[in-house]
Structure formats: structure tokens, C-alpha cells
Amino acid sequence: MVSERQGGSATPQADGGNRLTAELARRAYNIRRHALRMGEVQGQGYVAQALGFADVLAVLYFQALRYNPADPHWEERDRCLLSIGHYAIALYAALIEAGVLPETEIESYGSDDSRLPMSGMASYTPGMEISGGSLGQGLPIAVGVCLGLKRKASRSFVYNLLSDGELNEGSTWEAAQSASHWQLDNLIAVVDVNNQQADGPSSQVMSFEPLEARWQSFGWHVARVDGNDLAALSEAFDSARNLQEPKPRVIICDTRMGRGVPFLEGREKAHFIRVDPDEWALALEQLRLEA
């Protein structure tokens, strides 16, 4: 049984950084593999998002987050709130890799009576903190969880994983305002900027730049990184955690959909992709060769 994972920092030694990055790369590879195998069960879906976000999840679950795989409700855990319900495939992959969910449930993804529904819900899945899917609710919930934790003098952090599409919702910005008003230094928002939404590229659906300046003007500490660069992510998560200012923190992650599987990365971008039955084996093979 895996014991409690203490979240926190990368090793400070000179060569420790490389070793950590290699370990994170192995985790990211496994997360991508689990996600592809779940994608194959449906034959379609949010696979490209999961591939794009896998590096962020690897750093989150194998460096930053404090949790106990055997006890998803452990009081001292960091809270990881997934508001993007359709990214459940990505989070399940991370939870499997983290030992919270058994790998054997992959085949049940999105199927009748599974614990892994297409859209993530707290009532179904160990390790899924909230019921997402009605986008724009995650950050407001996170504000409340942060306030509640502070009342208990808890030292846990609250992570909210949100998407560039969720930046369209007014509720996200109402929460951003609230978080800085309440000086929520236990809040770390992680935005996946994959430049994709349901109707097309996010920048065309609703222009959102300059993103750093927008968050800064709302009183947040901002880091913007290449969301597929493990070393950069590792550092950004460390800094967000260790910051001494009484401010909420946001890590804006620019990611590439389909990352790790060249033919999916090169394919026309879409919110919901179809992959032919014979292409799944090819995807797993390309992933292996890229690793």
C-alpha cells in the first residue's frame, strides 16, 4: 500500500532536477497510455485534451499534490477540483497512475454503471472532489473550499483545474475577484490553455489575451508556462506553493492537444475527436516511440 504523498518541492540537488524530470516523464507517459486506452473504449471523445494536459497532471500528482491513495478523503489532503467535467478521462488516468483507482476499471470508462462516467462527478469516483461539467463552477467552489479550510486552520492547498473555455464564463471572474479580496493564499488555479473550445479555437470563439495581465489586474500571482515542458511546470508549481504573498496563484499552461502522439497532434483540432478502430494501436505505438 502506498503511503501518504507529501506534496511540495522538487529535490534541490544539482542532478536531482534531471532525475525528477525523468520520473515525471515516466508518469506523464503512463497517464497518456491510460487515457488512450480509455479513449479506445468509446472510440471517440476528449482524448486530445487528455494527451495535452498529461504533463500538468504528472507534475500535479507526482510533485505538487499531497494525498493518500488509500484514503481519498484524508482530511489533510490537498483538494484538487476538476471543474472541466469532460476532462475526467485525463483525471481518471492520473488517479489510476497515482494508485487511487485500479487500472482494471479502464475498460469500463463511460459505460453503463461504471465508476468512470464521461463527465466527472464526485458521487461516482474516488478522488473526484466535485461534480464538474457545468463549466465555470469550479473556481467559485474553490473559493468556498479555501475559506472553509482557513476556518479549520488547515494547511492544505486547493487546486482548481480549469480550461480556457471556462474563462468565458462571468462566474470565473467573479470568483477571481473574490479570491483576491479574501487573500486566498491557499488557492492555486491551473488553466489549460489549449486554444480549443466546442465551436473552434478559443482565440476565435472569444478572444482572451492578454491573459497574464488580466489575472494580475484581478490581484493574482501569475505564472505562464509551456504546459508540455515538465521542468518549467515543476518550477511553476513549486513557486506557486512557496510564494509568501497573501494572494491566490494561477498557473497558465499553454498546452498542445494530442501531445505525445504525432498523428493526433497533427490532426485538425477538435473538441471531440473520432479515432478509427485501427488507429488506437498506432496511437499507443507512436506514444511509445516518442517517449
Partner 1 sequence: MSTQTAKAGTAKSDTTKSDTTKPRLKTSAMIASIAGADQRTRSAPFGHALVELAKKRPEIVGLTADLGKYTDLHIFAQAYPERFYQMGMAEQVLMAAAGGMAREGCIPFATTYAVFAARRAYDFICLSIAEENLPVKIVCALPGLTTGYGPSHQATEDLAIFRGMPNLTIVDPCDAIDIEQAVPTIADHPGPVYMRLLRGQVPVVLDEYDYRFELGKAKLLRDGGEVLIISSGLMTMRALEAAKRLERDRIGVAVLHSPTIKPLDTETILREAGRGGRLVVVAENHSVIGGLGEAVAGTLLRAGVTPPFRQIALPDAFLDAGALPTLHDRYGISTEQVVAQIKGWL
Ligand X SMILES: Cc1ncc(C[n+]2csc(CCOP(=O)(O)OP(=O)(O)O)c2C)c(N)n1
Q: Applying CB under 8 A, which residues contact partner 1?
A: 41-45, 85, 105, 107-108, 110-115, 117-119, 121, 123-124, 131-136, 165-166, 168-170, 197-199, 204-206, 272
Q: Which does 156 bind (CB under 5 to 8 A by kind): Mg ion, ligand X, partner 1, none?
A: none
- In the complex, minimum distance from the CB of residue 49 to ligand X, in angstroms, rounded to a whole number: 5
First to last CA, the chain: 28
Question: Which of 213, 218, 154 has the alpha carbon at shortest distance from 183?
Answer: 218
The mark string for 134-163 relative to Mg ion (x by CB under 5 A, - otherwise) is -----------------------------x
**Interface with ligand X (CB under 6 A):** 46, 49, 84, 86, 133-136, 163-165, 194, 196-198, 271
Query: Contact between 234 and Mg ion (CB under 5 A)?
Result: no
* Angle at alpha carbon of residue 72, lines to 70 and 77, rounded to 5°: 110
Name the binder of 266 from ligand X, partner 1, Mg ion, none, CB < 5-8 A by kind: none
Q: How far is the CB of 48 from ligand X (least distance, A)?
A: 8
- Element holding 250 (H helix, E strand): strand 249-254
- Residues contacting 192, CB < 8 A, separation 6+: 49, 52, 53, 56, 84, 87, 161, 162, 163, 164, 227, 253, 255
Backbone angles phi, psi at 184, to 5 degrees: -80, 85
Q: Which does 267 bind (CB under 5 to 8 A by kind): partner 1, ligand X, Mg ion, none?
A: none
